[in-house]
Amino acid sequence: MEGRLLERRLEDLDYRIARYRREGMQEERLQRRRAALLASHAATHDQLEEMNGVLHGEESKLDRGVHLFHRGLERLMVEDIVAVENLGVFKAAIQYDVLLQRLEDVEKEVLEINAVMERRRDHREQQEMLQEWRADMYGRTDRDGRERNALLHDRLNVWLQVVDREDDLDDLDEAGSTLEDGLMALEASIAAGTRVRGVQKRDLAVLANLQPPRSKQFLLLEMVSKAKVAFRHVNMLIDHLQGIEHLTVHVREPRRIMDGLAEALLLDFYEGDRPWHSMRDVHDHHKYLTQIRRVLRQRRADVEKEIEGLREMEDELLLLAVDRRLKQRSTLNRW
């Protein structure tokens, strides 16, 4: 009777420890994601500092120019920013605001992760206490009880693998939803770009935030604005994938979306025609994200197949435990 009571207590402890191990796995997932977010924050901050230097350098250069009194700083900047040799200045001006938004997005998500981890900070101490209690119970359990407990222990380990892969599926679903939002933003950018008649100097000045927009710049502003939305979604897509330990999906640097578009817009301005280069650049990014969508769907199918195999293993261990329990009862009945 005492042996059976010890076995039940040991079983209860194993279930409770498994739940705390589950929390620990979720915490590790959050830690991986937070580490990646902090690295992205540092990289984005460095980019902004570099852009600050470029923009301040351009302003200082023009501020000391001999034509400043007659032509004004703003007009000089408008004319200077469309020069090919000042492509870096135009790139910095056109994407400075979206990088600031990226910093805000990262800071907000890191705060949310910190809040979740703060609520779960006691689980390690409680798990250690239960493991000490379990070691004492295990030492007082007989041989048959230990064998049955080993089966339960193996089954709980498999269960933990299953729920971890299910968390991978949740992250993949979030990543897929974010990817779809990015694709929709690029499609909206393409739709707006097809209606743009041409790219003028004032258009580039408006995009660089040097002059206020007018109604005639609406379509071009919409095209660039939707590309910036896609930039944010691709960054968030990478953030979602960072928490998955067993999965590697390489997504190229999102900044290429804005860099490539800035170069294409300047080229369209010099050719004086419709924004063919800009449209082709946005189309290329849309095609690339479509390829990433196929990769994510294949990864999801692989994870589902792995979960199916683990559940079959869990069922086999459960049947083995039931079989041993039935044999034990049969032996007791013979006595």
Q: What are the pLDDT digits (tens) for 166-177?
A: 999 999 999 999
Burial of residue 33 (number of CB atoms within 10 Å: 0-12, 13-18, 19+): buried
Report yes or no on 162 lying in a domain: no
Encoding tokens for residue 105?
């997005």
Report yes or no on 333 lying in a domain: no
Contact 197, 276 (CB under 8 A): no
Residue 87 has pLDDT above 70, yes or no: yes
Residue 67 has pLDDT above 50, yes or no: no
- 76-85, 128-137, 167-176, 304-313: range with lowest mean pLDDT: 76-85
Report yes or no on 335 lying in a domain: no
Structural domains of the chain, count: 1
Residue 279 has pLDDT above 70, yes or no: yes
Report yes or no on 183 lying in a domain: yes
Report yes or no on 329 lying in a domain: no
Element (H, E) at 253: none
Report yes or no on 331 lying in a domain: no
The boundaries of the domain holding residue 26 are 2-157+167-322
Q: How confident is the model at residue 129 (pLDDT cuts 50, 70, 90)?
A: confident
Report yes or no on 303 lying in a domain: yes
Report yes or no on 219 lying in a domain: yes
Q: From the CB of residue 271, how many other CB atoms can be counted at a distance below 10 Å?
A: 13
